[in-house]
Amino acid sequence: MKFNRVAIASVGYVLPPEILTSEQIENQLEPLYHRLRLPVGRLELMSGIRERRLWPRKTRITDPSIESGRRAIDAIGIDPKAIGCLIHASVCRDYLEPATACGVHHALGLPGDAWVYDVSNACLGIMNAAMQIAMMIEAGVIQAGIAVGTENARGLIEATITQLNGDHSLTRQSIKPAFASLTIGSGSCAWLLVDRERFNVSGRLHAAVAHANTAHNDLCQSDTDQAGGAMQPIMNTDSEKLLEMGIATGASAFAKLEPELPWPKSEIQTTVCHQVGSTHRRMMLERLGLPIDRDFATFDYLGNTGSVALPTALGEGLYRNAIGDRTRAVLMGIGSGINSVMMAVDLSGTVAKGNE
């Protein structure tokens, strides 16, 4: 789908205060490592993830989302009453009901006639929400909207460590499905999309595509829906097959996007992939024939933060001036299921506000 009226005007994000290194995780897994004679350092070596961040215990999902949304609003000084939609789109949420979006909407002082609801689609939630908002703006239904989410990895990491240390039947082969759970991190991010002419924003969302490869929906699954409970899920991930099919799905999505690009493929100045790890990044860019030196990544110090991973990486790249004037960008999202959403974006005038 092509867009004329829409721009990603700003990105607001919050990085959690607690840092958990891959070495610290391995130290907690000492009983397992000792029994299976696993070499220390393999977690970082295999993933490229040096550390990830965690929220303090008892942090509500709503609170970082409020702060991310507020930062996105403050970054461009928009009147909150002009925002006609708020979608909360992370995997994590505070309750089964009401929608986590409700608390965020109220705290941000958005108008009563706004569309307010939750969306969940694994690592693609915020990109899916952004697309729904973009379609509303393009249709003239609203002038601006926020896609926001917060992921909390603490429960998953701690439950995985407990399971791995406690199950003495595990072998080097049978621990593989748990590996991806140890690469997860926490974070919060909001994208503010606007009618570019109404708010005089020079950037633009040019085009977006989606591709579904749902025959592989069983490659990465949690045990049950844990929202509203103790949030101690266990994930079962076929990492090798997920990597293979995820890259294939992404390649199919990019093949759909390429004819819609407003510039030749060789003139793409910046890419941002889903932040899974070093192997995924390298293989995806090689498959698409895109240079790795134009890609911006955060997984090495934030881990895989799910739905906020790509959105936060975009924010970090802008806020730290790592993207600079390389404004012709392609955002390449992939989520378990398997789905892919990709966007061609002009980032001229897009601003970000993150951790000082």
Q: What is the pLDDT of residue 229?
A: 45
CATH code, 44: 3.40.47.10
- Taking phi first (over 0 means left), then psi (-120 to 50 degrees means alpha), and beta for anything else, what does residue 77 get? left
Over residues 255-266, the pLDDT tens digits come to 999 999 999 999
b vs e for 280-297, b when ≥16 Cβ sit within 10 Å of the residue's Cβ? bbeebbeebebeeebbbb
Over residues 42-64, the pLDDT tens digits come to 999 999 999 999 999 999 999 99
- Count of structural domains within the chain: 1
| Selection from 14, 351, 327, 355 nearest residue 199 by Cα | 351
9 pLDDT band (50/70/90 cuts)?
Answer: very high
| Selection from 255, 208, 149, 150 nearest residue 7 by Cα | 208
Q: Rounded to the nearest 10 degrees, what angle do helices 278-288 and 239-257 cross at?
A: 40
Range of the domain at 254: 1-356
177 pLDDT band (50/70/90 cuts)?
Answer: confident
270-273 vs 328-335, strand pairing mode: parallel
3-state secondary structure of 83: coil
Other residues' Cβ atoms within 10 Å of the Cβ of residue 38? 16
Q: Give me the residue label for tokens 């990597």.
A: 243
- Taking phi first (over 0 means left), then psi (-120 to 50 degrees means alpha), and beta for anything else, what does residue 122 get? left
Distance CA 214, CA 346 (A): 30
- pTM exceeds 0.85, yes or no: yes
Q: What is the pLDDT of residue 227?
A: 43
How much is the mean pLDDT over the chain?
92
Determine the average pLDDT of the residues in 339-345.
96
Most confident of 92-96, 242-246, 314-318: 314-318
| Selection from 238, 231, 254, 242 nearest residue 100 by Cα | 231
User: pLDDT at residue 221 above 90?
Assistant: no
Q: What is the pLDDT of residue 213?
A: 79
236 pLDDT band (50/70/90 cuts)?
Answer: low
Over residues 127-163, the pLDDT tens digits come to 999 999 999 999 999 999 999 999 999 999 999 999 9
Other residues' Cβ atoms within 10 Å of the Cβ of residue 246? 28
